[in-house]
Structure 1
């Protein structure tokens, strides 16, 4: 029925595989088709100052920060982000501005184009937050991912800029393979760094020069790095650091990134997209820093990503959750033994393969003053509202 629409062009997403009935019909009848990233590059990004935010972790938050800085600087950028920045309330926007911020993913383009999506975007400003092994369903090892980032770097112009961390061995290896674009670093003792760090914010330095203090409510050292990267990228586009700092002071965050979802019976519920052990550890540590050592954190995890389902990262999972006081893992669909993997945590860990039982276990363990941190890269069966309902029942 869809083929009867007879469009001029079919745009194919990377979730479509051979064997899909519509795709097979398109191929059989000689229909014109193109990948989503290629269509985007040719019809939206062409002629724009593309600011691509890449890396294993922090893409969505950093892209949201950068878009918000440009917005507050009067640039009114277009953007395409893999989450919803709270300040905009939408994940994509097309404007007349020459600036376009895009979350640049290393996942493959389509079943007929196995290059990473970001190779199509022809960025002028490229942020590489970090590089770590992920996407075990399509990459055999870290070296394969580094090769895709190397290809990405090869597409960047001499007049562009690469914003990279001061200390990341994988990023360094990528740049050492060949780089034709100026590089600025963020992090300790680098081009963009922070000092006087406390729970209210930090001072920002451009080299040896202090350019202001950012006071905000964002949690964690990872968000401090995200902010430095966004400030550096915005400066490349002509936004003064002082303006960027003022914008980030009012940054509202991103939905599903340490998002407070509500409270019941004196128990707070947070939601986060974390699904990789590094992100899980960083997220739990950020909440711990906010709440202090005396508060109880109940971590509720769904290992839902393809990498986690395959068990590639399972040996790092227990250690990533050590900052939590209780750990609840949803095991439905896993091919590995979560109980054995989390055994090093002892009685702290609890596993269930049914969502209703998991919710019951969390509710039974939670008490007033606790904080529940739900982590999944999916909807987790609507667990947030269900948990709040269960917590509200008098016990």
Structure 2
């Protein structure tokens, strides 16, 4: 068992925090640094007794055997500059994970612009339910497990395959390092405008991913996804199957009902699932997870049974609670497709009023790359409260002119909070959407609503 000391720069990111926990399970002494810490990753690190330095500082220099650099770290950081000056070796997280864990496991990877976290969480839970005790590293916290990563007790390892870059010194997508035996491809759209010039650049990284796969790798592809087909046409050397909803041409498909779905494989009905998860997009995620699990020996009927007890993922349309008749949800959606899917999933529950508080926090959103389709993403909401941070580069008022719901913009979170509380009434459903902490807005609103 390893007895070295590992230090992670940028430890509070979802990937790096999960990696830190796996390193601790491997037997390493683990510490790290970041600019800030926030739940749920700060809580997870604390549960593993992993100490955090804020911010990163050169004081950590020379006290550790291995330094792992997260992709959020940039040149100019005090500790990073000291490491480079001393010529101390640095490692990327994905490469270290492959060398320490993945090269010894059967890897099941979930990739695509949307649904990676939820699909990977479903897949890990299916394997767990089937008694396989997989390891996993997921970009969120599956509620069934309560943690985002673990080493596991078998040779199976589920990983979320992120297309974001590996590190400041390795601009390949993280998933290039994982070499999976089973790969799920959910979808492909333009995102991450801070590192990708256009959709073609994203497709190139997915093409490179396919080039790393062996001939016997199973690739499960969402049917009727034109961008994914473009990638396949650039070259494909593995084995493929397709999955979808209500598509008889797919190998695996689901037929959806109000609160359940029927699973078919090449026209043969395999069973039904009545579950607690909302949204058509999640049915597609489930079919991809079931198909992947089938290729490591889980009968589809067992997978369907597992999903009936699947609770969901933290910050993915997560119910925070009901306060004085008002139900509050926390959602990570930050791309118009995800925003639309989350609101539609909530609307499918036949709720009364849906109020949305939204923070445009991702680099792609702040740059205005989604402006043409952003307003329509909120069509199923009744009222939109739109936060306009100081670094937003475009006029939200202009973009939202075409929005269907009532909307209002606020550049101050105190005024935003006041406006929301004045509008809310018993029976409402409040959806707080951000891929950050939204200046603590959700927690402040819950405090006010609890009185």
Q: TM-score, normalised by structure 2?
A: 0.85
Q: How does 1:237-386 map to 2 (within 5 A)?
A: 237-292=296-351, 295-333=352-390, 334-345=392-403, 348-386=406-444
Q: For the Cα contact (< 8 Å) 2:61–2:79, is it kept in 1? A: no
Residues in 2 aligned to 1:278 and 1:75: alpha-carbon distance in whole angstroms: 34
Residues in 2 aligned to 1:127 and 1:364: alpha-carbon distance in whole angstroms: 44
Number of the residue aligned with 2:261: 202
Q: How does 1:9-28 map to 2 (within 5 A)?
A: 9-28=66-85
Residues in 2 aligned to 1:253 and 1:346: alpha-carbon distance in whole angstroms: 29
1:225 aligns with one of 267, 274, 284 = 284
Residues in 2 aligned to 1:384 and 1:124: alpha-carbon distance in whole angstroms: 40
1:392, CA displacement in angstroms? 4.2
Residues in 2 aligned to 1:27 and 1:257: alpha-carbon distance in whole angstroms: 38
Residues in 2 aligned to 1:359 and 1:23: alpha-carbon distance in whole angstroms: 39
1:110 aligns with one of 153, 167, 191 = 167
Q: How does 1:160-175 map to 2 (within 5 A)?
A: 160-175=217-232
> 2:54 aligned with 1:54, yes or no?
no
Q: Deviations over 1:222-249 (max 9, x none)?
A: 0000000000000111111011111011
Residues in 2 aligned to 1:345 and 1:355: alpha-carbon distance in whole angstroms: 22
Question: In 2 relative to 1, CA 5–29 (structure 1 residues): closer, same or farther, beyond 3 Å?
Answer: closer
Number of the residue aligned with 2:48: none
Question: In 2 relative to 1, CA 79–194 (structure 1 residues): closer, same or farther, beyond 3 Å?
Answer: same
Q: For the Cα contact (< 8 Å) 1:213–1:245, is it kept in 2? A: yes
Greater RCO structure (CA 8 Å; 6+ sep): 1
Residues in 2 aligned to 1:265 and 1:32: alpha-carbon distance in whole angstroms: 55
CA root-mean-square deviation: 1.2
1:251, CA displacement in angstroms? 0.5
Q: For the Cα contact (< 8 Å) 1:359–1:390, is it kept in 2? A: no
Unpaired segments ≥5 residues, structure 2: 1-57
Unpaired segments ≥5 residues, structure 1: none
Secondary structure at the counterpart of residue 100 of structure 1: strand
1:194, CA displacement in angstroms? 1.2
> 2:130 aligned with 1:73, yes or no?
yes
Residues in 1 aligned to 2:66 and 2:382: alpha-carbon distance in whole angstroms: 53
Secondary structure at the counterpart of residue 72 of structure 2: coil
Number of the residue aligned with 2:90: 33
Aligned length: 390
Q: How does 1:179-198 map to 2 (within 5 A)?
A: 179-187=236-244, 188-189=247-248, 190-195=250-255, 197-198=256-257
1:185, CA displacement in angstroms? 0.6
Q: TM-score, normalised by structure 1?
A: 0.96
Secondary structure at the counterpart of residue 262 of structure 1: strand
Q: Deviations over 1:308-354 (max 9, x none)?
A: 11111122111100111100011113121111111223771111011
Q: For the Cα contact (< 8 Å) 1:261–1:384, is it kept in 2? A: no
Q: For the Cα contact (< 8 Å) 2:421–2:445, is it kept in 1? A: yes
